[in-house]
């Protein structure tokens, strides 16, 4: 059987992470794109696999056999598993997908997972930091259950078309949104670049109106920042939502802009950030650190790859990092490096605890496979998997504080945010 699989290096957190401080689930990633030719099988059943659901089944088996970090496969005879899988008859791709998922569950690793074509496409959009659409963030208003524009992304087609935060979307391409979920509405709005989506909008006190908006390739901002005047000093507040392919350049712009505006110190907010591209986290760490180790990874054969600062930090001003129980994977790499090199004080609650690395492969039918290929360690070499990183200063939010910030996200990164307020106090004390 001859086939090739495009390989994307990723650090994945495939659990559903729901943050009280930011938008919910995202998938994690790392390392650059390379090519991979999966080895041919000499099995007699190979010839019968072409153009059948068994093709993808065997692709998955081969990748796991060659790359899975646990060479004992959770004490499963993986070769016998292949024979069992290929002896079965599959009526369609769905039945093959189900068999694949059941086999991967036997490996005992929640991060090694099969992705159907739709899931794989969604992952690719998230990790690239781009999608084809009109550039709006959607929400369901709690009181009315109506589909609402939370905000148009600046300079997006939606923004240029005049959509505003608080607009209700009554229909999409003539389909009423009353019973749509957010995922369904988002899928309706997305589409090929150059095509149009027609929206019916309700905006008080105006009458309802319709607008046709052309879809474009949208870059999803991963970084937002403000310069906050805190009594007699200026604090640069930077919120990093995910480590996408564009996060590093956006972070560089934020640091440079805030430095030019005479920020006296920085608060880097990683709360609710489930991770992203590993190399993006390394690049961003290098913007804050002039020297020191950042992270190391160890693969199934004991190979150790180390990443360190390169002496090209953009600033040496005081820094406080905010984390919580939803700061995972690449977020923990960055927070751990900054903490253990004494570059920053870390404030908040214990992080998620995700210390493994995944690669993601595209398969021949458009589906994908995430497979754990290595474990990663902060500079100290401690194992943070399922343990997390403890902040230097523990500041836990009570239920009421969490609810307040969740309902009023504009309060995040202000004096009404207890963890941010503590960070500002630390920066002031360092300046004395």
d(CA 175, CA 200): 10
Q: Order across the sheet with 393-394: list the strands.
A: 223-230, 233-240, 265-269, 319-323, 345-348, 393-394
Across 57-63, average pLDDT: 98
d(CA 157, CA 133): 8
Whole-structure pTM value: 0.74
DSSP string, 273-324: ---B-HHHHHHHHHHH-SSSEEEEEEETT--EEEEE--S--S--S-EEEEE-
Coil/strand/helix, residue 246: coil
H/E stretch holding 6 reads strand 5-10
pLDDT in tens, 136-187: 878 788 678 899 987 788 789 999 999 988 899 999 999 999 988 776 888 8
pLDDT at 432: 65
d(CA 215, CA 136): 11
Please identify which of the residues 26, 239, 339, 354 carries the catalytic annotation. 354
Closest CA to 284 of 318, 238, 328, 325: 238
Structure tokens at 307: 């990443």
pLDDT at 50: 55
pLDDT at 39: 28
> 219: pLDDT confidence band, cut at 50, 70 and 90?
confident
pLDDT at 44: 39
pLDDT in tens, 124-135: 766 666 677 898
Closest CA to 54 of 27, 16, 87, 26: 87
Is residue 354 part of the annotated active site? The answer reads: yes
Average pLDDT for the chain: 86
pLDDT in tens, 261-296: 999 999 999 998 988 888 999 999 999 999 999 999
pLDDT at 41: 34
Residue given tokens 């794109």 in the structure block = 33
- Domains of the chain listed by start with CATH number: 5-128 (3.30.750.44), 131-219 (2.30.42.10), 223-355+374-431 (3.90.226.10)
- Exposure string of 260-281, with b = 16+ CB inside 10 Å and e = fewer, is eeebbbbbbbbbbbbbbbbbbb
Cα torsion through 84, 88, 92, 98, rounded to 10: -40
Closest CA to 271 of 318, 238, 234: 238
CA distances from 382 to 10, 12, 67, 70 (A): 21, 20, 23, 19
d(CA 148, CA 241): 21
Please identify which of the residues 5, 244, 245, 329 carries the catalytic annotation. 329
Is residue 22 part of the annotated active site? The answer reads: no
pLDDT in tens, 88-110: 999 999 999 999 999 999 999 99
Residue 50 — φ and ψ, nearest 5°? Answer: -60, 135
pLDDT at 120: 85
Structure tokens at 186: 């988002």
Taking CB atoms within 8 Å and a gap of at least 24, the contacts of 409-415 are 409/21, 409/22, 412/21, 412/22, 412/239, 412/269, 413/226, 413/228, 413/237, 413/239, 413/267, 413/269, 414/228, 415/230
Judged by average pLDDT, the poorest of 27-31, 325-329, 376-380, 409-413 is 27-31
């Amino acid at each position: 059987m001859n086939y090739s699989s495009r390989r994307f290096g990723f650090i994945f957190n495939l659990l559903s992470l729901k943050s009280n401080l930011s938008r919910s689930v995202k998938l994690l990633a790392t390392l650059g794109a390379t090519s991979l030719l999966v080895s041919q099988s000499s099995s007699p059943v190979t010839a019968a696999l072409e153009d059948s659901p068994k093709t993808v089944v065997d692709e998955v088996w081969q990748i796991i056999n060659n790359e899975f970090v646990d060479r004992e496969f959770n004490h499963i005879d993986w070769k016998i598993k292949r024979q069992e899988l290929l002896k079965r008859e599959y009526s369609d791709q769905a039945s093959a997908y189900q068999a694949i998922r059941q086999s991967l569950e036997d490996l005992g690793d929640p991060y090694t997972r099969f992705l159907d074509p739709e899931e794989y496409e969604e992952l690719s959009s998230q990790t690239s930091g781009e999608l084809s659409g009109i550039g709006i963030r959607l929400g369901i208003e709690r009181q009315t259950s109506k589909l609402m524009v939370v905000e148009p992304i600046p300079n997006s087609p939606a923004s240029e078309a005049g959509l505003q935060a608080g607009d209700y979307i009554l229909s999409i391409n003539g389909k009423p949104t009353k019973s749509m979920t957010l995922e369904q509405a988002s899928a309706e709005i997305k589409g090929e670049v150059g095509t149009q989506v027609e929206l019916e909008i309700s905006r008080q006190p105006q009458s309802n109106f319709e607008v046709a908006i052309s879809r474009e390739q949208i870059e999803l901002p991963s970084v937002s920042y403000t310069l906050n005047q805190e009594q007699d000093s200026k604090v640069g507040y930077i919120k990093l939502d995910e480590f996408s392919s564009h996060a590093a350049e956006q972070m560089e712009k934020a640091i440079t802009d805030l430095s030019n505006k005479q920020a006296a110190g920085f608060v880097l907010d990683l709360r609710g950030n489930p991770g992203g591209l590993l190399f993006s986290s390394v690049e961003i760490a290098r913007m804050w650190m002039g020297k020191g180790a950042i992270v190391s990874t160890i693969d199934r054969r004991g190979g150790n790859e180390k990443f360190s600062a390169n002496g090209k930090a953009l600033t040496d001003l005081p820094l406080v990092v905010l984390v919580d129980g939803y700061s995972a994977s690449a977020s923990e790499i960055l927070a751990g490096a900054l903490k253990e090199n004494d570059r920053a004080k870390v404030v908040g609650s214990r992080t998620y605890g995700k210390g493994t690395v995944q690669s993601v492969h595209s398969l021949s039918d458009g589906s994908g496979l995430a497979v754990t290929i290595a474990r990663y360690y902060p500079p100290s070499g401690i194992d943070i998997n399922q343990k997390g990183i403890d902040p230097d200063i523990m500041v836990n939010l009570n239920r009421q504080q969490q609810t307040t910030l969740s309902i009023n996200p504009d309060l995040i990164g202000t004096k009404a945010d207890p963890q941010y307020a503590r960070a500002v106090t630390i920066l002031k004390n360092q300046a004395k």
